[in-house]
Amino acid sequence: MKKFVLISIMLIGATTSLLFAQTNFEITVIDSFKWNSSIGGGVEAADAAEFNGSIFLSYFYSSNASNKRYVFLVKKENGIYSIDTVATFIQDYFSHTRATAIQIESSGNPWVYYQYGGDIFASRKVNGTWITDQIVSNLFISGITTLDGVGNEIGLFYKGATSEAQTSYGLMFAQWKNNAWETKVLYEQPGDLRDPRPSALQIGNDIYVSFITISGSPDSIIVHVLKENNGNWNEDFSDVVVTQLGGVYISDRGMLGKSGNGNVFLWREYGQSDSGESLGWRLFEKDVNGWHRVNLVSPPDGFMAWPQGSNLTITNNGTIVMISEANGFDPKISWVKPDGTCGLNEKLPYWDWNPFMLWLQDIVTVNDDIYIYYTNGAPGNYDYPVTFKETKININDLITDIKSEQNNIPGTFNLSQNYPNPFNPTTVIEYQIPNVKTQNLASQLVQLKVYNLLGREVAILVNEAKQPGIYKVNFDASSLSSGIYLYELKAGNFTRIRKMILLK
């Protein structure tokens, strides 16, 4: 069965977008649905891959009307989308759709992997018909990923319990050999591995996979890179960060990517301490001389936290591009140029509907065009409209736009994420005011207020006219209790709201 959807495209340029002053972009609606929070609904767990200029997407789609969950495969070729139904499940309250992954073999045939509850399935198309195998059954699984890039191996990695007793956990590799699936444990330890999905790629006959572990005494977050060549797996690289866990959730991720010249890159994000320190980042490269750390030049505040997607995306000119958001909040795109220069943009066009409920899914590049996939709406509210979208933007236009804006009076309004976040008890909020005349606005009055989740105003930080420029405000929350707060900037016709976390 094939599902057809209505696709609409908007071309927005400098004259029609206040949020994105100079750069042209395209937004395409791939699908739309209504969310019913009683059992979920809509698009989940999308994964993207590029092959010979075509883009493939795998994702779950939940239908509240039919009480079913579908696995869909989208192919975009020459600007035209087609959607195939790969598999169908009867949804219930106990089995959860956790992940999908997609791999393209050298012939161009897609393989779709998906996790439903404690089971992992693999589907491939043979003579126009989807054939499905069950790879894993009744195990606790925390994430799956497949091999990025076209090579000689068909397979996927997953993390979870190595037995039904769940006394130890490991990183496993399921490989398609001789028309059957073979599974092996690559790494095992008592307790649990970290939640984030592994990241994997293949270059010729070499396969790389990265994953995160935690060790104690001292508390350490370790990113491992394993390499396979001719059936032999060995640790190729590791990086250790000592931190204070203190019961606070530690955000950590290791993501692999490969450049056009065949070099391997590893991006790692490591967590915050119990005192609420900001996140840190490290970038490593493997070239003909082995692994070495890349110097990051002036990463801005809020540069990269909670990265999304399966792997690092690297453009033709060697720029690494990443997308991030935290539980539907604060979506952004960050990049690292070949010379280590870092950049950040929080004014992308996916602010066009509701900045609070935007769930980034994955990102791919075709030449120097970036394609970002996300759901946009308000999950959690009954019968609320939500859309599954694609945004296309050229990386060279994006970097040029931000550079010109940094060297002049701001061309747009903006409210940045506070830092540090979480904080105790003080934090800094930065906002920018453009030349008001260019925005055709009636007033220069600026208001910056803080609210609790009930919508009650708890602080007024700014309430006065402001000249064009970039401003920083210190917020002292000593009198407030721990929790999530919202801060809102209003200026003329512009309104922006962000979330911050007070952790005492």
pLDDT tens across 348-358, in order? 554 444 444 56
pLDDT recorded at residue 469: 77
Among 85-94, 397-406, 418-427, the range of highest mean pLDDT: 418-427
Average pLDDT over every residue of 295-312: 73
pLDDT recorded at residue 2: 41
Average pLDDT over every residue of 146-168: 71
pLDDT recorded at residue 334: 83
Rg of the chain in Å (alpha carbons): 23
Per the CB < 8 A criterion, the answer to whether 256 and 264 are in contact is yes
Q: Which residues pair with 116 in a beta bridge?
A: 97, 119
User: Does 413 have pLDDT greater than 50?
Assistant: yes
Question: What residues have CB less than 8 Å from 379, skipping those under 6 apart?
Answer: 35, 37, 42, 328, 357, 359, 386
User: Does 13 have pLDDT greater than 90?
Assistant: no
pLDDT recorded at residue 8: 37
Query: What percentage of the chain carries pLDDT values higher than 90?
Result: 14
Average pLDDT over every residue of 366-370: 83
Candidates 3.30.70.260, 1.20.1250.20, 2.60.40.1930, 3.40.50.970; CATH matching 414-502: 2.60.40.1930
User: Does 40 have pLDDT greater than 60?
Assistant: no
User: Does 202 have pLDDT greater than 90?
Assistant: no
Q: What is the pLDDT of residues 326-348, one digit of tens each?
A: 555 567 788 888 888 888 776 55
pLDDT recorded at residue 17: 26
Question: What residues have CB less than 8 Å from 11, skipping those under 6 apart?
Answer: 24, 26
CA dist., res. 86 & res. 494, Å (int): 43
pLDDT recorded at residue 14: 25
Window from 199-203, 295-299, 316-320 with minimum mean pLDDT: 295-299
What single string gives the DSSP state of each residue in 162-205? SSTT-SEEEEEEEEEETTEEEEEEEEEEES---SSPPEEEEETT
pLDDT recorded at residue 245: 53
Q: What is the pLDDT of residues 209-220, one digit of tens each?
A: 998 887 766 567
User: Does 130 have pLDDT greater than 70?
Assistant: yes
Average pLDDT over every residue of 19-39: 59
pLDDT tier, 375 (very low <50, low <70, confident <90, very high otherwise): confident
Q: What is the pLDDT of residues 422-453, one digit of tens each?
A: 888 888 898 888 765 544 444 468 999 999 98
pLDDT recorded at residue 21: 36
Task: Please give the mean pLDDT across all residues of the chain.
Answer: 75
CA dist., res. 314 & res. 186, Å (int): 27
Question: What residues have CB less than 8 Å from 56, skipping those under 6 apart?
Answer: 48, 49, 50, 73, 74, 75, 76, 102, 104, 110
pLDDT recorded at residue 9: 37
Q: Which residues pair with 159 in a beta bridge?
A: 143, 171
User: Does 142 have pLDDT greater than 70?
Assistant: no
User: Does 240 have pLDDT greater than 60?
Assistant: yes
pLDDT recorded at residue 191: 60
Asked if omega into 218 is within 30° of 0 (cis), the reply is yes
Window from 123-132, 154-163, 413-422 with minimum mean pLDDT: 154-163
Residue 480, exposed/middle/buried by CB under 10 A (0-12, 13-18, 19+)?
middle
